[in-house]
Amino acid sequence: MSTTSSTPVTDPSRTAPPSSVAQIGRLLIANRGEIAVRIAHTATAMGIDTVGVYSDPDADAMHCDAVDVAVALGGASPAESYLRGDAIIQGALDTGCDAVHPGYGFLAENADFARQVEAAGLTWVGPTPEQITLLGDKVAAKRAAVEAGVPTTAIIEASPGKVPGDVAMPVLVKAAAGGGGRGMRVVRNESELADAIEAASREAKSAFGDGTVFIEPYIEHGRHIEVQILGDAHGNVVHLGERECSIQRRNQKVIEESPSAGIDGATRAAVCEGALALARHVGYRGAGTVEFLVGDAAHETDDPTITFLEVNTRLQVEHPVTEAVTGLDLVEWQLRVATGEPLSITQDDVRCDGHAIEVRVVAEDPAAGWLPSTGLVDGFSIDGPSIEVRSSTPMVRTDTGIRAGTEVSADYDSLLAKVIAHAPTRSEAARQLARALRRSNITGVRTNVDTLVAVLGEPDFLAARTPTSYLDGHPEVTEAPGPSGDDRLALLIAATFALEQRDRAANLATGFAPSGFRNLLTQGQRVALFDGDAPCDLEYVLTGDRADLLVGPLPEPDEDGALPADERRRVSVRLIRREPSRTVLEVDGRRQVIHVRLDGDIINASGPFGSATFTVPARFVDHDIEAIGAGPVSPLPGTVLAVHVEAGQQVSDGELLMVVEAMKMEHRITAFGDATVAEVHFVAGDRVDTGDLLVTLDGTD
């Protein structure tokens, strides 16, 4: 199989499967967000009616508009809504559906749910329940892989309270069920193994209902390589090439691409043939992904170590990169195979053209340890078209279930959108993708957009030096500030004059006077904004549509009272057009269009080279916070999973106090000094909000 050709995909036998089988007339999509929108897109194109489901908070969600009709499940949390298999099946029956597509996450890899769907007389779009049971258990899947001759390493079984000894470090503690990076812990010190097993088991139980975990060797500088497989009910199986998903945070993927630029032909052949062998061994039906960890050639002198990780018996989040390079619509083939239609392609028909890169835009703050961000998305746009599976020209595709007005909740994961670029070469795809991200505008929640842009232009990334340790080895990308220099100055100036325009419109007392009116015409209007923690000082004189600015701190007198020379930068600005959310300005002869959103004292400015958020400093400091006691607060809304301390207990700096789950991830709450626990304010199972004091500590150092 060639992975270097840039020939456009034109063979209709590859891009348009035969339509002789059309047994699905109405499809229920048992999911939410971007994947529900994605499935509805293809089903609608195939002439299939679509039915969605929604929780109470999702009543006006984008995925509900993407389907013909949607069924209310009630509740807010996944357990109250999207994990209610009985309600979903009843909804499918009540609306006359023929089939159920689970998407990914929630019930997608739940064999019992698949059986219940089939028992209700509905078509299950996915592997057989037996295959889900076998391959969904990573221990059983590992045994099947060994039987099929798939390259892999050994595993060690473990459980809370049952910690194996003499384990060579580092290791990976991993949930036997589920996926998505949940229930996984990297352990480098044997003394931390017991806690890691307990934490991984607890997280797996919460996420998947199964707390079984196991241990396997951890390849410190490995590459996460996965192979897309597709099988039918007639024994035909093909692979659609490999993807590399090595750039991860918290064991969850951030950037995915196809093909991998970091493995050689022999390794590519080994993983693809291994994936096919396992698929044939179990008679796999539908779309799935066989995942491997491959030793990085830069850190291994011999042939790279290849270890089988797991099989995801569902559509992957990153499936669009495979669609881009193969020209195949994986959702379409899932639906056709589910009805019993045989594959019309053989392995020789599969050809990968060009290179595709996908990034996951998430509501998280990389600079704050990837802390999730919740709240109302009041602005959302990403440059490029929406879902477009087939294209033979360079393109950028966006898959999303988010729009302006969407509430990002702690009940669901933090994924906002997937942005995919496809081009003849990897460097072109990276360049197109970075441009689309720079021109995006997402406000109301923090995102990782600046980090993604920084990665796509970073030398090691462009050279394909991207092991799983990439982010740990490149901390500078997680602190990427976004636009700099004159690009950022234009954003600051647009924010300043948007604030000026709003304040003037609201000023009923002196609205007759020019902005910044003073008795002394030699003084301009002074503005102080904050760019993160950095103060930004401006002074301007506005005359009509033109302004003269001084940028920088006001000169301060020295100890003798002498005023130093004014070294502030002088800038000439012309305000060509001023609209409530859009400013066209000229800065020293350079014209730009800046989109601005004001939310109280928060100003977001977005231009062609990125965005920035500025804040108006508070005039008064509120000291009331000092009266509520000292202790850690909840970083975001969530649920208390475990409490590890009690009143009167002595704790040391860094000691675990509480575990809070939010956006399907665990957050460890620790002491910030040696202290005594005065009061514990919540118990396991309680809901907490951002800023809630969790534990009061006395005598913190």
Question: What pLDDT was estimated at residue 513?
Answer: 54
Picking from 309, 288, 17, 320, the residue whose alpha carbon sits closest to that of residue 128 is 288
Residue 290 has pLDDT above 50, yes or no: yes
Lowest-pLDDT range, 144-158, 229-243, 334-348, 379-393? 379-393
As given in the structure block, the two tokens for residue 253 are 């993927």
| Beta partners for residue 660, in sequence order | 640, 667
Phi, psi of 268 (to 5 degrees): -60, -45
Q: What is the pLDDT of residue 385?
A: 53
Find out whether the peptide bond into 483 is cis, omega within 30 degrees of 0: no
Instruction: State phi, psi for 346 to the nearest 5 degrees.
Output: -110, 175
Q: Considering the chain, what percentage of its residues have pLDDT values greater than 90?
A: 67
Looking from the CA of 130 toward its CB, the CA atoms found within 13 Å total 4
pLDDT value at 221 more than 90: no
Q: Is the pLDDT at 594 greater than 80, yes or no?
A: yes
Contacts of 390 (CB under 8 A, 6+ apart): 9, 15, 323, 327, 329
> What does the pLDDT read at residue 388?
62
Taking residues 32-44, report their average pLDDT.
98
- Asked if the model's pLDDT at residue 187 lies above 70, the reply is yes
3-state secondary structure 198-215: HHHHHHHHHHHCCCCEEE
Determine the average pLDDT of the residues in 249-265. Answer: 94
Which pLDDT belongs to residue 490?
A: 96
Tokens 């702690």 sit at which residue? 410
Angle, helix 330-338 to helix 33-45, in steps of 10 degrees: 70
Q: pLDDT tens, 500-544?
A: 998 888 766 555 555 554 545 456 899 999 998 899 999 999 999
What are the phi and psi torsion angles at 345 (to 5°)?
-120, 150
Confidence label for 12 from pLDDT (cuts 50, 70 and 90)? very low
Task: Tell me what pLDDT residue 512 has.
Answer: 54
* Single-letter amino acid, residue 596: V
699-667-405 Cα angle (round to 5): 120
Identify the weakest region by mean pLDDT among 127-136, 169-178, 412-421: 169-178
**Reported confidence tier of residue 299, pLDDT bands at 50, 70, 90:** low
What's the mean pLDDT in 550-568? 87
Does the pLDDT of residue 69 top 70, yes or no? yes
- pLDDT band at residue 166 using 50, 70 and 90 as cut-offs: confident
d(CA 483, CA 490): 10
| Cβ 123 vs Cβ 338: under 8 Å | yes
Helices 138-148 & 129-136 angle (0-180, nearest 10): 90
Q: Binning pLDDT at 50, 70 and 90, where does residue 87 land?
A: very high
Q: Give Cβ neighbours of residue 28 (< 8 Å, ≥ 6 apart).
A: 50, 51, 52, 53, 71, 88, 91, 92, 95, 97, 99, 100, 101, 122
Structural tokens at position 122: 């509905």
Q: Which ranges constitute the DSSP H helices of 220-360?
A: 265-282, 319-326, 330-338
Domains of the chain and CATH, by start: 486-615 (3.30.700), 624-698 (2.40.50.100)
pLDDT value of residue 5: 31
pTM (predicted TM-score): 0.84
> How far, CA to CA in Å, does 25 sit from each of 3, 88, 91, 118, 201?
37, 18, 16, 16, 41
pLDDT in tens, 399-439: 999 999 999 998 899 999 999 999 999 999 999 999 999 99
Token duo for residue 517? 């009116």
Which of the residue ranges 143-147, 194-198, 383-387, 515-519 would you say has the lowest mean pLDDT? 515-519
CB 215 within 8 A of CB 183: no
The band of 155, judged by pLDDT with boundaries at 50, 70 and 90, is: confident
Mean of all residue pLDDT scores within the chain: 88
Element (H, E) at 496: helix 485-506
pLDDT at position 508 is: 63
Residue 300 has pLDDT above 80, yes or no: no
Which tokens is 554 given? 């006001």
Residue 91 has pLDDT above 50, yes or no: yes
Report how far Cα 40 is from the mean position of its chain's Cα atoms.
21
Mean pLDDT, range 251-258, rounded to an integer:
94
Task: Please check the confidence at residue 302 and state whether its pLDDT lies above 80.
Answer: no
- Cβ neighbours of residue 154 under 8 Å, at least 6 residues apart? 216, 217
Q: Pick the residue with more confidence: 236 or 510?
A: 236
Reference 420, options 465, 472, 358; nearest CA is 358
Is residue 305 pLDDT above 60, yes or no? yes
Q: Are 523 and 625 in contact (CB under 8 A)?
A: no
- Among 240, 214, 212, 217, CA closest to 227: 240
Span 628-648, mean pLDDT?
84
